[in-house]
């Protein structure tokens, strides 16, 4: 509907430029078609006239926005959508949509079915979405769970907007933490515990280390991403232990993510940046472009040239690189692999390194846009049970694992609760609420609403009543009924929500919208009987129920949450 109105206004502007009412060279303004705050202001409103008046005044022509608004209204092409138009305030154009047009839109929901709400705005373009990217040193924790669902839902939203989406997991398999993992497993393999002499100072204490050590000593085979690693059984072979432990924990993390409904197209190893000489190549390019200098035996990057508050060390005096350098090389590889849009989902604790990574990419002078990559940062999650915070897991030792949470609350509830708020907001996960089968539980509320509409169709068959969707779409929508009108207008906002969620990388908007739609349907459901004797009325109401059911199912799919037919 918004696209239709935008096209009508654009045609009216062209007509006024052709007729000389507006300057022929006046640019097309970036006007909006939006929903006004109150029903009295129409179904949609546009600021086109005020923007045109401003543009005309910049060209030396004084213009009255209300007069331009009236000229636009008079120049609108004949159409079957607009019932009436009003001019309000300083020049807003308010559109009232006719009932037949609303009915046609409801028909589109049923006709497009699972494709409804999807668009092709990103068609022909590739976006890479990197998320989770946990070190393979232990089970995934709840923070990883929030990262996983945010990244996965961003990827789903971009896909719904037509983008060719590549989902990517970056393994930091080259750092000190990996060595810490190896010596921890070795200590367990040698029969040592955390309280024994010789236990590594920063050793991992979780029970999962025992599982890894025992599997290594048994000579178990671990297959991960097409590679097989076999335990060498030798507790003194640290390199063999390191390889086995990393493979073992990568497999465990993959199993956790599969249980969570999260998958990836690419697994990228940090170590590959060194073995392929990509880090050294990147440093050489930065030096060649004149954005580095040496001081105090270290190599520095002039990040202040690109908005940073101070220059940063790239290569320390001992010859090792600081941690942001491989990140620059990694994101350069994304650009080289054709990712026109690169989205990286991280915890908020990574905030300090983001500016220097972007500065490094700009310093390469290779055409990478200034905003590349786009970062989405999430805040911490506090898990509560029985009014008390839950922190520890016997398996992990020092933190609650994602698998623990899924086992307690279920995948659907975990995904919903961890995506339903904006990523940069603190989040409290109440296990008791997530498990409750009550209307206070938002995911349960939405799923029950979806199942309730399936229940209507089952009752229809049980009572031997007919249903004709075509006849239902031919009947008036009864838009004078407040709950019916609210349901129709809320229902048909879904494509806008999908577009915005993908554009702004805010999939939580989909969860917010689905709860609103479910609540709006519930109000309509409470106010109306559906399986009435009058076939015309029955068909008209069931059409709205089925269209709502379809949109709920489509939205839940974008969140990776199931849409059950029975609850």
What domains sit in the chain, N to C, each tagged with a CATH number?
A: 2-97 (3.30.1360.70), 176-261 (no CATH), 439-559 (1.10.730.10)
Who's near 542: CB < 8 A, 6+ residues apart? 456, 457, 460, 467, 469, 472, 530
> At 62, is the pLDDT very low, low, confident or very high (cuts 50, 70, 90)?
low
CA 328 to chain centre: 24
Inform me whether the pLDDT recorded for 96 exceeds 80.
yes
Closest by CA to 63, choosing from 90, 43, 103, 96, is: 90
The SS3 assignment for 55 reads: helix
Q: Are 377 and 350 in contact (CB under 8 A)?
A: yes
pLDDT at residue 40, rounded to an integer: 85
CA distance 511 to 497: 10
> At 400, is the pLDDT very low, low, confident or very high (cuts 50, 70, 90)?
confident
pLDDT digits (tens, 9 = 90+) for 474-530: 999 888 888 999 999 999 999 999 999 999 999 999 999 999 999 999 999 999 999
Q: How many alpha carbons lie under 13 Å from residue 43 in its C-beta half-sphere?
A: 23
The average pLDDT across 163-192 equals: 92
> At 279, is the pLDDT very low, low, confident or very high (cuts 50, 70, 90)?
very high
CA distance 160 to 560: 13
pTM comes to: 0.91
Closest by CA to 543, choosing from 175, 229, 215, 108, is: 108
Inform me whether the pLDDT recorded for 184 exceeds 70.
yes
The SS3 assignment for 128 reads: strand
pLDDT digits (tens, 9 = 90+) for 311-370: 999 999 999 999 899 999 999 999 999 999 999 999 988 777 899 999 999 999 999 999
Give how far Cα 567 sits from Cα of 62, 406, 455, 516, 546, Å: 63, 19, 10, 20, 17
> At 382, is the pLDDT very low, low, confident or very high (cuts 50, 70, 90)?
very high
pLDDT at residue 58, rounded to an integer: 75
> At 432, is the pLDDT very low, low, confident or very high (cuts 50, 70, 90)?
very high
Dihedral angle of Cα 333, 334, 339, 344, to the nearest 10 degrees: -170
pLDDT at residue 512, rounded to an integer: 98
State the chain's mean pLDDT as an integer. 93
pLDDT at residue 1, rounded to an integer: 86
Who's near 219: CB < 8 A, 6+ residues apart? 230, 231, 232, 233
Q: Which of 110-119, 143-152, 470-479 has the lowest mean pLDDT?
A: 470-479
Closest by CA to 136, choosing from 272, 301, 321, 267, is: 267
Give how far Cα 71 sits from Cα of 12, 20, 351, Å: 9, 12, 50
Q: Which of 92-96, 353-357, 409-413, 440-444 has the lowest mean pLDDT?
A: 353-357
The average pLDDT across 373-397 equals: 86
Inform me whether the pLDDT recorded for 174 exceeds 80.
no
**Strand 266-269 to 126-130 pairing:** unpaired
Inform me whether the pLDDT recorded for 381 exceeds 70.
yes
Angle between helices 494-504 and 535-559 (to 10 degrees): 10
Q: Are 157 and 498 in contact (CB under 8 A)?
A: yes
Which runs of E-coded beta strand occur in 110-184? 126-130, 164-171
Inform me whether the pLDDT recorded for 395 exceeds 70.
no
Q: What are phi and psi of 408, to 5 degrees?
A: -80, -45
Q: Are 269 and 224 in contact (CB under 8 A)?
A: no
Which runs of E-coded beta strand occur in 422-541? 427-430
pLDDT at residue 243, rounded to an integer: 94
> At 149, is the pLDDT very low, low, confident or very high (cuts 50, 70, 90)?
very high
The average pLDDT across 26-39 equals: 90
Q: Are 262 and 246 in contact (CB under 8 A)?
A: no
Inform me whether the pLDDT recorded for 295 exceeds 80.
yes
Give how far Cα 469 sits from Cα of 110, 475, 490, 547, Å: 9, 10, 20, 10
Inform me whether the pLDDT recorded for 192 exceeds 70.
yes
CB burial of 56-69 (b: ≥16 within 10 Å; e: otherwise) equals: beeeeeebebbebb
CA distance 124 to 111: 25
pLDDT at residue 422, rounded to an integer: 96
What share of the chain in percent tops pLDDT 90? 85
pLDDT digits (tens, 9 = 90+) for 193-205: 999 998 999 899 8
CA distance 146 to 507: 12
Q: Are 50 and 91 in contact (CB under 8 A)?
A: yes
């Amino acid at each position: 509907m918004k696209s239709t109105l935008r096209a009508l206004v654009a045609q009216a502007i062209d007509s006024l430029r052709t007729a000389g009412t507006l300057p022929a060279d006046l640019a097309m303004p970036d006007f909006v078609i939006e929903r006004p705050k109150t029903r009295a202001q129409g179904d949609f409103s546009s600021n086109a006239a005020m923007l045109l008046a401003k543009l005309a005044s910049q060209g030396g022509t004084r213009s009255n926005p209300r007069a331009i608004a009236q000229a636009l209204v008079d120049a609108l092409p004949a159409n079957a959508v607009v019932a009436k138009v009003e001019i309000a305030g300083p020049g807003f154009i308010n559109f009232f949509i006719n009932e037949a047009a609303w009915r046609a839109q409801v028909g589109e929901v049923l006709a497009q079915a699972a494709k409804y709400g999807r668009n092709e705005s990103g068609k022909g373009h590739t976006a890479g979405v990197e998320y989770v990217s946990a070190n393979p040193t232990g089970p995934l924790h709840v923070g990883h769970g929030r990262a996983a669902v945010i990244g996965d839902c961003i990827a789903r939203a971009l896909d719904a907007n037509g983008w060719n989406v590549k989902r990517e997991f970056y393994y930091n398999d080259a750092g000190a933490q990996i060595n810490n993992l190896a010596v921890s497993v070795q200590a367990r393999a040698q029969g040592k515990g955390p309280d024994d002499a010789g236990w590594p100072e920063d050793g991992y204490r979780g029970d999962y280390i025992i599982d890894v050590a025992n599997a290594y000593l048994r000579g178990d085979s671990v297959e991960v991403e097409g590679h097989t690693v076999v335990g060498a059984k030798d507790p003194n072979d640290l390199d063999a232990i390191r390889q086995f432990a990393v493979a073992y924990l990568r497999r465990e993390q993959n199993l956790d993510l599969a249980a969570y409904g999260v998958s990836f197209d690419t697994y990228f190893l940090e170590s590959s940046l060194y073995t392929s000489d990509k880090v050294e190549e990147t440093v050489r390019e930065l030096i060649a472009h004149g954005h580095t200098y040496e001081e105090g035996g270290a190599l520095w990057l002039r990040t202040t040239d690109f908005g940073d508050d101070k220059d940063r060390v790239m290569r320390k005096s001992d010859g090792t690189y600081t941690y942001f350098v491989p990140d620059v090389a990694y994101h350069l590889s994304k650009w080289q692999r054709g990712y026109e849009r690169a989205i990286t989902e991280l915890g908020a604790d990574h905030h300090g390194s983001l500016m220097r990574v972007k500065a490094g990419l700009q310093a390469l002078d290779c055409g990478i846009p200034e905003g590349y990559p786009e970062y989405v940062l999430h805040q911490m999650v506090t898990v509560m049970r029985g009014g008390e915070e839950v922190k520890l897991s016997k398996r992990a030792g020092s933190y609650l694992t994602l698998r623990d949470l899924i086992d307690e609350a279920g995948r659907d509830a975990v995904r919903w609760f961890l995506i339903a708020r904006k990523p940069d907001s603190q989040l409290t996960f109440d296990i008791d609420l997530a498990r409750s089968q009550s209307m206070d539980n938002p995911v349960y509320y939405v799923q029950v609403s979806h199942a309730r509409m399936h229940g209507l169709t089952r009752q229809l068959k049980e009572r031997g009543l007919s249903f004709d969707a075509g006849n239902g779409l031919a009947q008036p929508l009864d838009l004078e009924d407040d709950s019916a009108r609210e349901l129709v207008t809320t229902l048909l906002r879904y494509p806008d929500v999908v577009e915005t969620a993908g554009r702004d990388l805010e999939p939580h908007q989909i969860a917010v919208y689905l709860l609103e739609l479910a609540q709006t349907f519930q109000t309509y459901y409470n106010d109306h009987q559906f399986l009435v004797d009058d076939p015309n009325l029955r068909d008209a109401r069931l059409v709205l129920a089925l269209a709502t059911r379809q949109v709920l199912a489509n939205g839940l799919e974008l969140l990776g949450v199931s849409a059950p037919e029975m609850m």
